């Protein structure tokens, strides 16, 4: 047996034998969510108030300071008036703060956080350096000039699992173009 093969097989045998851990379906699902997603938390009030014009973005997609800025400026929200009564504003703000990216250990949240310059508080997920970078090879004709997408903010137009907080290449289907192949 050649040396590298011997070493490789020894390595495989020892790892297989020494880690006889069995994961339940729930643990496997949670592990996957942590590695390719953000926490899939939600709140009926949030879905109702913040999920009618676009998907209800998961709190783990922006830091607390960004959510605070967004919630403080709802009367002029990207050209729309999305103002809420003070009670709903408080409940939603508390929810967003509690699960924001800076408090999360899910992989996509930590990547978004690490990409931000200190104290930067973007009000767009689509303009955080990490999210911008992940999409910089997608041509305009598939986003802006694509009538079924129009904007990178429209995560769920392409990410079929966006509502579950899962963002991986396997579950991308760009309307009119299909699976992404890079
Ligand atoms: C009346 C419609 C409307 C409502 C209600 C609304 N939004 Fe928006 N929101 C918009 C529009 C329009 C945009 C810009 C979308 C685009 O550029 O494609 C936007 C963009 C956003 C973005 C940035 C998306 C990105 O990454 O570029 C966030 C975050 C956001 N909204 C959060 C919220 C929250 C939180 C609420 C609830 C308090 C809310 N929105 C309610 C219309 C709305
Ligand atoms: C036009 C369709 C489209 C839209 C809209 C879109 N994405 Fe993506 N996204 C993709 C494609 C395609 C890739 C893979 C890009 C590559 O590998 O070059 C990707 C990759 C990603 C990745 C990295 C996945 C990995 O496996 O490394 C994340 C995270 C992500 N998108 C999040 C988002 C979020 C959050 C939004 C909304 C703010 C969004 N995307 C909007 C198409 C889209």
Report the pLDDT value the prediction gives residue 14, as an integer from 0 to 100. Answer: 57
Greatest extent of the chain over all pairs of C-alpha atoms, in Å:
73
Render pLDDT for 70-101 as a digit per residue (tens, 0 to 9).
999 999 999 999 999 999 999 999 999 999 99
Quick check: is 157 in a domain?
yes
Asked if 137 and 144 count as a contact pair (C-beta separation under 8 A), the reply is no
Q: Residue 180: what pLDDT?
A: 85
To test the pocket of ligand 2, the residue of 155, 164, 174, 175 to mutate (highest count of ligand atoms within 8 Å of its CB) is: 155
Q: What is the pLDDT of residue 11?
A: 63
Q: Which residue out of 172, 174, 175, 181 has the highest number of ligand 2 atoms within 8 Å of its CB and is therefore the one to mutate? A: 172
DSSP 162: G
Q: What is the pLDDT of residue 167?
A: 97
Q: Is 6 a member of any domain? A: no
pTM listed for this prediction: 0.91
Say if ligand 1 is within 6 A of residue 70 CB: yes
- Please give the structure tokens belonging to residue 56: 């209800």
Residues of the chain with pLDDT under 50: none
Q: Which of 38, 46, 50, 150 to mutate to test the pocket of ligand 1 (most atoms within 8 A of CB)?
A: 50
Q: Within a domain: residue 8? A: no
Residue nearest to atom 23 of ligand 1 (CA): 124
pLDDT of residue 22: 87
Q: Is 158 domain-assigned? A: yes
Q: How many residues does the chain have?
A: 182
Q: How many CB atoms lie within 10 A of CB 133?
A: 11
Domain of 68, in residue numbers: 35-179
Nearest to 142 by CA among 108, 106, 180: 180
Rg of the chain over all Cα atoms, to the nearest angstrom: 20
pLDDT of residue 1: 54
The tally of domains found in the chain comes to 1
Instruction: State the distance from the centre of ligand 2 to the C-alpha of 87, rounded, in angstroms.
Output: 34
For residue 120, is it within any domain? Answer: yes
Residue 28 within any structural domain of the chain = no
């Amino acid at each position: 047996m050649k040396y590298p093969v011997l070493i490789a097989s020894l390595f495989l045998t020892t790892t297989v034998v020494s880690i006889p851990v069995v994961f339940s379906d729930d643990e496997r699902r949670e592990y996957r969510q942590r590695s390719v997603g953000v926490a899939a938390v939600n709140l009926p009030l949030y879905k109702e108030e913040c999920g009618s014009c676009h998907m209800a973005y998961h709190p783990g997609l922006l830091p607390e300071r960004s959510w605070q800025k967004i919630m403080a400026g709802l009367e002029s929200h990207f050209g729309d008036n999305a103002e809420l009564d003070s009670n709903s504003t408080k409940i939603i703000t508390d929810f967003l703060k509690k699960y924001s990216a800076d408090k999360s250990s899910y992989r996509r949240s930590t990547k978004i956080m690490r990409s931000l310059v200190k104290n930067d508080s973007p009000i767009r997920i689509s303009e955080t350096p990490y999210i911008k970078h992940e999409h910089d090879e997608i041509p305009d004709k598939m986003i802006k000039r694509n009538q079924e997408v129009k904007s990178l903010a429209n995560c769920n137009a392409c990410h079929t699992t966006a509502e579950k907080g899962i963002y991986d290449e396997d579950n991308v289907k760009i309307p009119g173009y299909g699976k992404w192949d890079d």
